[in-house]
Amino acid sequence: MAPFLLRAERLTKVYPDGTVALHGVDLEVRPGEVLGLLGENGAGKTTLTKILSGLLPPTSGRLLTPAGPVRFHSPKDALRLGIGMVHQHFALVGTFTALENVALGLGGMSLPALRERLEALIAETGLHVPLDVPVEQLAVGERQRVEILKVLARNVNLLILDEPTSVLTPVETAELFKFLRALREKGKAVVFITHKLKEALAITDRIVVLRRGRVAGEVETARTSAAELARLMVGAEAGGRGSSVELATETPAVAREARAAAEPALVVEDLRVRADTGELAVRGLSFALYPGEILGIAGVEGNGQTELVEALCGLRPIESGRVLLLGRPVAGRSPLELYRLGLAHIPEDRWKHGLILSFTVMENAIFGLQRERAFRGPGGLLRRRAALAHAARLVRDFQIQAAGLHAPARSLSGGNQQKLIVGRELAKDPKVIVAAQPTRGLDIGAAQFIRELLLKLREEGRAILLVSADLDEVLALADRVAFMYEGAFVGVARPAELTPEAIGLLMGGVKAGAR
């Protein structure tokens, strides 16, 4: 038997809401290796690592160390056995220095002694970090090093990194890889989570691919290719696959002809948008969206989709480039002005932008429309009767299950909340609809309702931009699919023309033909 540091056997995780995140996953981590964990959104990567690091208990299955089976009650237990994790979102106190942040978790060690130890550790690993500057003044890459030092200071043998490169510049990524190789030389193990094929191939020794909570395959990095990984990641059935989304995707001839004649409804030219961190999240994107068409944007989340949608809808400033909505520039206009030009937005986060949970169904039905003539009477009085009639119409037309028009939105199910948002946005009679993750978290019935609605809107000649992390949904609904990777499109194609391998490669950021 090969020596191992940690072994997971038949791990299954069922969340309280019934989601099965892992189905009987086996995994072994050996000393002196970098193990890649590859998969799409929702494949179970994060759940698996949370179990390995003691953050979540498995529903069934067990963890083994060379000393025998173990049970973690908290990340502390895992750390005691030399297993540490660095999360995608850092847990640092911004006003503390790197030294103080490391000291926080250690407890009982004097700062001078810790400084000595950290300086030795930095010399040994090459993870250069200024120890006496508040971490809020450090670059993201440096903060990540502080997180890694925090874990290493506890004599960790197995380091788990969750999407560590998603926040790093290419230079920082190269430095991280150098450090990981050095760690491997010392006989330590690294579990490296990523959805980027190139990185998985560059740094790992062995790759385990997860798909929908199961191990889809395990390969030696030296003997695999991007194409094979892509196939494993997306599954053989991708493309014209017997997917969970079954809808008529044939575009009627009428619509196609209409499109050929029409002007594009939305034009994006060389668009650049910054993320909250100041990094460029959208890097020179160009496309045109036509009336009577659904353009799908697929891709692993965090590749700039959110920033793109926010920029299109007036919620985020445009750094450079041009966006024309029905021939008029979008830059500098507020969401309200854009809606008056003919844009509707089904927001990605329904609780953040979509509705107000403590407001009633009626109040939410006119949200964003409150200043319209129809609802604003003389003297700024709210026309409650008109608002009630409008809400009643939405409830009827969109089959919203609510205890009444005065029930708070909080009391509605997620699906009915979403129908309320969608109904309200469509009541604006928009020419262009930007739908971001429109079916996320919905039950099958509600998701189906909304998908069919999107198709109907297309038939009516409206232009729809569908941004979704649900690959099946995009492939089933869209007339054209664009794959977004690190802020740019790596390929645009009709769904029928895509092979599973091509889809996997595009999702993983490998440009078509660039293999």
Query: What mask of x and - would describe binding to another protein in positions 404 to 423, judged by CB under 8 A?
Result: x-xx----------------
State the number of binding residues for another protein (CB under 8 A). Answer: 34
Please give the single-letter amino acid code of residue 8.
A
Determine if 334 is a binding residue for another protein (CB under 8 A).
Answer: yes
- Choose among 52, 10, 13: nearest CA to 191: 52
Determine if 459 is a binding residue for another protein (CB under 8 A).
Answer: no
- Give the separation between CA 323 and CA 329, rounded to whole angstroms: 6
- Give the separation between CA 163 and CA 61, rounded to whole angstroms: 25
Stretch that binds another protein, among 153-161, 238-246, 328-336, 481-489 (CB under 8 A): 328-336
Determine if 378 is a binding residue for another protein (CB under 8 A).
Answer: no
Choose which of 91, 123, 174, 336 interacts with another protein (CB under 8 A): 336
Determine if 368 is a binding residue for another protein (CB under 8 A).
Answer: yes
Stretch that binds another protein, among 127-135, 147-155, 403-411, 476-484 (CB under 8 A): 403-411
Determine if 93 is a binding residue for another protein (CB under 8 A).
Answer: no
Determine if 489 is a binding residue for another protein (CB under 8 A).
Answer: no
Instruction: Find the DSSP H helices in 220-324.
Output: 226-234, 253-261, 305-312
Q: How far is the CB of 367 from another protein (least distance, A)?
A: 5
**Is the distance from CB of 153 to CB of 102 less than 8 angstroms?**
yes
Determine if 223 is a binding residue for another protein (CB under 8 A).
Answer: no
DSSP letters for 415-463: HHHHHHHHHHHHTT--SEEEEESTTTT--HHHHHHHHHHHHHHHHTT-E
Stretch that binds another protein, among 196-204, 234-242, 265-273, 373-381 (CB under 8 A): 373-381
- The answer for residues whose C-beta is within 8 angstroms of residue 437's C-beta and 6 or more apart is 348, 467, 468, 469, 470
Q: 16 to 55, contacts with another protein by CB under 8 A? A: 16-17
Nearest residue (CB) to another protein, 225 versus 370 = 370
- The tokens 């086996």 sit on which residue? 26
**Is the distance from CB of 434 to CB of 304 less than 8 angstroms?**
no
Q: 307 to 326, contacts with another protein by CB under 8 A? A: 315
Determine if 432 is a binding residue for another protein (CB under 8 A).
Answer: no
Structure token pair of residue 374: 């129809």
Structure token pair of residue 344: 């509707």
Determine if 403 is a binding residue for another protein (CB under 8 A).
Answer: yes
What backbone phi and psi angles, to 5 degrees, belong to 421? -65, -50
How far, CA to CA in Å, does 445 sit from each of 21, 337, 419? 21, 34, 11
Determine if 174 is a binding residue for another protein (CB under 8 A).
Answer: no
**Is the distance from CB of 107 to CB of 115 less than 8 angstroms?**
no
Nearest residue (CB) to another protein, 20 versus 202 = 20
Nearest residue (CB) to another protein, 69 versus 94 = 94
Neighbours of 397 (CB within 10 A): 12
Q: How far is the CB of 121 from another protein (least distance, A)?
A: 33
Choose which of 213, 347, 491, 508 interacts with another protein (CB under 8 A): 347
Nearest residue (CB) to another protein, 241 versus 353 = 353
Q: How far is the CB of 411 from another protein (least distance, A)?
A: 8
Determine if 375 is a binding residue for another protein (CB under 8 A).
Answer: yes
Stretch that binds another protein, among 208-216, 254-262, 366-374, 393-401 (CB under 8 A): 366-374
Stretch that binds another protein, among 28-36, 141-149, 285-293, 344-352 (CB under 8 A): 344-352
Q: How far is the CB of 270 from another protein (least distance, A)?
A: 26
Structure token pair of residue 226: 């991007």
Determine if 352 is a binding residue for another protein (CB under 8 A).
Answer: yes
- Choose among 318, 331, 263: nearest CA to 285: 318
- Choose among 192, 241, 14, 166: nearest CA to 486: 166
Neighbours of 248 (CB within 10 A): 9
Q: How far is the CB of 60 from another protein (least distance, A)?
A: 18
Local structure of 403: helix, strand or coil: coil
Residues at the contact surface with another protein, assessed by CB under 8 A: 15-17, 315, 334-336, 347, 351-359, 363, 367-368, 370-371, 375-376, 379-382, 384, 403-404, 406-407, 441
